[in-house]
């Protein structure tokens, strides 16, 4: 195993908890209001901004942006990440990574191998 990799079993619990929050506070309440893909991306970007800069996170006692600012002062717009449909990026990723990180189906990227 590469000594630069930081692999901990409990990280999966944090990811799953984050997905549950997204489901309960974004997807479920918004699903019937979204008319098309563009509307989804706009609402997802607003959710991301709220989640990172306005929503109190009990596990860290503040917002993620506030926590980040404890270490380094950055503008608030660092809290926004591009909202994208990863299914549509498969061909682009294959082009840049020459298929070496894909399962035979071509749809699953092993991101830990990219580090």
Task: Please write the tens of the pLDDT for every residue from 33-74.
Answer: 999 989 999 999 999 999 999 999 988 999 999 999 999 999
Q: Please compute Rg for the chain using Cα positions.
A: 17
The proportion of the chain whose per-residue pLDDT surpasses 90, expressed as a percent, equals: 46
Kindly tell me if the per-residue pLDDT of 30 is higher than 70: yes
What pLDDT shows up at residue 113? 47
Average pLDDT taken over every residue of the chain = 80
pTM: 0.67
- H/E stretch holding 28: helix 28-30
What pLDDT shows up at residue 115? 41
For residue 25 the two structure tokens come to: 């506070």
For residue 16 the two structure tokens come to: 């799953």
Rounded mean pLDDT of 88-107? 63
For residue 92 the two structure tokens come to: 């682009």
What pLDDT shows up at residue 52? 93
The proportion of the chain whose per-residue pLDDT surpasses 70, expressed as a percent, equals: 77
Higher-confidence residue of 3 and 64: namely 64
CA dihedral of residues 28, 64, 18, 29 (deg, nearest 10): 0
């Amino acid at each position: 195993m590469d000594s630069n990799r930081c692999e901990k079993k409990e990280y999966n619990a944090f990811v799953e908890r984050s997905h549950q929050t997204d489901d309960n506070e974004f997807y479920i309440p918004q699903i019937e209001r979204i008319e098309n893909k563009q509307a989804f991306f706009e609402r997802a970007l607003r959710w991301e901004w709220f989640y990172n800069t306005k929503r109190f996170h009990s596990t860290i006692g503040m917002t993620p942006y506030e926590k980040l600012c404890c270490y380094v002062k950055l503008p608030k717009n660092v809290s926004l990440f591009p909202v994208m449909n990863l299914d549509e990026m498969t061909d682009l990723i294959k082009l840049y990574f020459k298929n070496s990180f894909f399962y035979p189906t071509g749809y699953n990227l092993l991101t830990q191998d990219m580090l």
